Amino acid sequence: MKMNRTKKVGKIKKSGYTITFDLIAYIFLTLFAVICILPFILILSGSLTDNSTILHEGYSIIPKNFSLDAYKLILGNPKDMLNAYKVTIFVTAIGTGVGLLLTTVTAYVLSRKEFKYRNRISFIIYFTTIFGGGLIPWYITISKILNLHGTLTALWLPGVLSSYNIILMRTFIKGSVPDEITEAAKIDGAGHISIFGKIVLPVLGPALATIGLFLALGYWNNWMSSSLFINDTSKYMLQFYLYNLLNRAQAIRDLALTSGIVLEVPSESTKLAMTIIVTGPIILLYPFLQKYFVSGITVGAVKG
């Protein structure tokens, strides 16, 4: 009898208002999820549809005339495709790792009150978000002054530091690590390296995941650096490789038209297939980082 009563008491009955609110929230979230995923379904369907069908009938959720011509065109030379993937993965991994390290260290230094010039340096960093030198000075700095033209370093070095990321990380450190904790660690004899490695770094999981994802997406979707600094096709990143592939296909079609030959090139379906190939790895990576965006972190334990 006691166990049954305990079970009955332990159950909390939801009110009608709560049930109605939950139902509306679930319906709204379901519709929002469908709206978000619908464009990707259209892209996937279009990549598997015959190019002439897309041109004459438009897009559809289910492929009307199934065709793999777009993927055959893109994967016609798998060696070059895999090499572009390797270059992109290498640049993304190196740039994200180095960027996280420099961003975190810079933000930690700027968050310390005992650093004499932190306000001046913070102003200089913030000033770059308002005024920039432009594309030409940036190109001259990378290719002429640093002499990085034609190297893989030119693909990842310019993007390792961002003013926005530094400000974001500094704000997170100041909000997550109270000054009382660092002061207590100094009294116990800890230096800045120990404080950073043992106190600050362990609580930066959400910030590292967020900024790391920003950096990784920036490198993964970067095509302009390859177009400016790389001449060797073996060093092309994936985005620029696919861009050149589509341009070559269209050039062949235009050349055939000038000769009076009608050559069907799946230009529209190829664009959609490129989107699927490029976004696939990011979609697979995101679930592993999602928990850092939805989880909070509370830092207390002030030593008195």
**199 in the Ramachandran plot: left (φ > 0), alpha (ψ -120 to 50) or beta?**
alpha
What pLDDT, on a 0 to 100 scale, did the predictor assign at position 261? Answer: 64
Per-residue pLDDT tens for 111-169?
Answer: 888 888 888 888 888 888 888 778 888 899 999 899 999 899 999 999 899 888 998 89
Exposure of 46 by Cβ count < 10 A (0-12 exposed, 13-18 middle, 19+ buried)?
buried
Residue 92 has pLDDT above 90, yes or no: yes
What pLDDT, on a 0 to 100 scale, did the predictor assign at position 304? Answer: 37
Per-residue pLDDT tens for 211-265?
Answer: 888 898 899 988 889 999 998 888 999 888 888 887 877 777 777 667 666 566 6
Question: Does residue 87 or residue 205 have the better pLDDT?
Answer: 87
Residues of the chain above pLDDT 90, percent: 17
Orientation angle between helical segments 163-176 and 78-111, nearest 10 degrees: 50
Q: Which two tokens stand for residue 89?
A: 């993965």
Residue 94 has pLDDT above 90, yes or no: yes
What pLDDT, on a 0 to 100 scale, did the predictor assign at position 179? Answer: 79
Q: Which of 40-54, 105-119, 173-187, 281-295 has the lowest mean pLDDT?
A: 281-295
Q: Which two tokens stand for residue 78?
A: 């798998």
Highest averaged pLDDT of the listed ranges 92-96, 193-197, 234-238, 252-256: 92-96
Helix (H, G, I), strand (E, B) or coil at 35: helix
Per-residue pLDDT tens for 135-150?
Answer: 888 899 999 899 999 8
Q: How confident is the model at residue 210 (pLDDT cuts 50, 70, 90)?
A: confident
71-294: which CATH number, 1.10.3720.10, 3.30.70.980, 3.40.50.620, 1.10.300.10?
1.10.3720.10
Average pLDDT over residues 65-71: 84
What pLDDT, on a 0 to 100 scale, did the predictor assign at position 27? Answer: 94
| Contact predicate 81/273, CB 8 Å | no
Q: Tell me the average pLDDT of the chain.
A: 81
Residues of the chain above pLDDT 70, percent: 87
What pLDDT, on a 0 to 100 scale, did the predictor assign at position 303? Answer: 37
